[in-house]
Chain A
Amino acid sequence: MTVPTTSGRIRLLPTAALILGAIYCIVPTLWILIASTKSKTDLFSTATYLPSFSAGIWHNIVDLSTYQNGIFWHWMLNSFGYALIGGVAASLVSAACGYAIALYEFRGRKVVFNVILACVLLPQIVLAIPQYLLLSNVGLTDSYLGVLLPQLFNPYGIYLCRIYAASSVPQSLLEAGRIDGASEWKLFHSVGLRLMGPGLITVFLLQFIAIWNNFLLPFVMVNSDDKFPLTVGLYSLLRHGAAEASLYSLVITGTLLSVLPVIALFLSLQRYWRLDLVTGALK
């Protein structure tokens, strides 16, 4: 019989191919881990794929933690602050808007939704510069709010919420609630939001990552180094490396330390991902 043998061979091949893919994705992080074990003097002089065992990593972490009074940890905190607050707020805004569009008929519904849909396709990045100039008129540049506020509007999140609300909140349930005398607002937060919960976690995670990864907006918006998120902070360290050489080992260690917590967050939250939502959105 030929069937078992071919399928036996094919299972090996896909496994090997997948592992190759996994290695490709992990190697840079692995290299950063190795490089961060090296002291300043070893970084450019020892074999690049061998870790150094001279306690360099600890020195590097100490150096990084003392650099400008530990500003690196400040950046880390900022990144979490921006992503967490922005993620939660943006998800709530999206949930409210998506819920209304999905479950109510009201004047202007179509227009609002179409404009939001167009924003999904608009590269947010080109707005960064006029946003900066506009926010500077009201004195909001170089402030935490200047970074947070523009990221609260998440057209893709609204889009997803609308789809999810339509499929997870049955109109009949709302009607039943209305007959029982529940107010529309109560229906929204005790029925709508609860049923949309799992989808909202995905919207939150998507927005969390989007803010965490954002570079241009904070880069443009913020001047004080104590308000930088990690991306801008590490980039500025790299550019300082271009005026002062000894910082490369700090950049490398900082890169490692910035990747680890997100990986941890991801591993712990992975079962909450509902990415079928992303594809389901198509139908």
Chain B
Amino acid sequence: MAARNRAKLPYLLVLPAVALLALFVVAPGVYALVLSFQARKVTGGLLGGGSKLVFVGLDNYGLALADPELWSSIARMVLVALLFIPATVGFALLFALLLDVPRVKLARSSRLAIFLPYAVPGVIASLMWGFMYLPATSPIGGDHIDFFGASTVFFSVANVAVWGSVGFNMIVIFTALRALPSELYEAARIDGCSELRMALRIKVPLVLPAIAMCTLFTALASLQLFNEPNTLRPLSNAVSSTWVPLMKIYEDAFVNSDVNKAAATSVLFVIAALAVSFVASRTVSRVNR
């Protein structure tokens, strides 16, 4: 009896997750793949008089790859990522190390304050920063600095993203620091080693796995950049409707109602994202070893 139960229960326990996986990841994935090989063509008449789906092979992929907007959107995403990833990981590490310095004042409140933006949705964060940037309402000098200039806009978008994610990554690194045995530092302290030297020589190398994981998290987040530029868009001319790849996919699918091309772009994007993630996670696990 017990043996039979043992044989069945694990399957029952994974069933909900596997069912959800099949319904909401695998099935949409397959559907997107099917859509990406089709196109909608109108059938006669001035206004089409109806339309039908036809098989077009790899046409959508060709169109997607030949679209210069896709490549510029990727370039913009990379630019933001180059600002976002090092800033987030850098500041998260800095704050985590500072929190770990003995007898720092106001550590608890600061930690909480820095962590709080994590609970603010990207859309809301972008709304708040958007009003901070606009000269009409800016308390931080928006009437002198153009936060929506051709190059400054990259910093402005990256800043919103950094603001939202430093806290979480700081906690991840801080927890890793806390897990280190304190005997490690005692000897160094007695030898007169400064906190700075200790941080750089002892702590950072030991929390490298956590840092690597934060880098992976933020790299994944930059691929998914959508909410921030999309929310800032109505406020200025600087953000176009296809500013980052996901906005491009959204625009194709929902504004220009070309679901098929959007599906092709999505498939390409997933392949690229998985490749990036794979390489990144391999690097992470190498660091961990």
Contact = CB atoms under 8 A, between A and B. Distances in A.
Interface of A: 2-3, 6-7, 10-11, 14-15, 17-19, 21-29, 31-32, 34-35, 43-44, 48-49, 93-94, 96-97, 99-101, 104, 106, 109, 112, 115-116, 118-119, 121-127, 129-131, 133-134, 149-150, 152-153, 158, 178, 183-185, 188, 209, 212-216, 220, 230-232, 234-235, 238-239, 241-242, 251-252, 255, 258-259, 262-263, 265-267, 270, 273, 275-276, 278-280, 282-283
16 contacts: A11-B105, A14-B195, A21-B91, A22-B113, A23-B113, A26-B116, A121-B278, A130-B32, A183-B2, A184-B9, A185-B9, A215-B226, A242-B234, A273-B171, A276-B178, A282-B284
B273 interface: yes
Nearest to B267: A126
Contacts of A27: 132, 139-140
Given A96-B14, A130-B31, A185-B5, A125 B213 contact: no
A126 B269 contact: yes
A17 B104 CA distance: 10
Closest 4 CB pairs of A and B: A121-B277, A130-B28, A22-B113, A153-B20
B124 A258 contact: yes
B119 A21 contact: no
Contact of A121 (B91, B98, B274): B274
Interface in B93-138: 94-95, 98-99, 101-107, 109-110, 112-125, 127-129, 131-132, 136-138
Nearest to A95: B13
A231 B101 CA distance: 38
A25 B273 contact: no
A129 B6 contact: no
B117 to A, nearest CB: 5
B119 A122 contact: no
Nearest to B207: A279
B192 A149 contact: no
B213 A279 contact: yes
A231 B124 contact: yes
Given A35-B137, A125-B226, A10 B210 contact: no
Contacts of A258: 121, 124
Contacts of A209: 118-119
Nearest to A235: B123
Given A31-B128, A112-B14, A121-B274, A127 B28 contact: yes
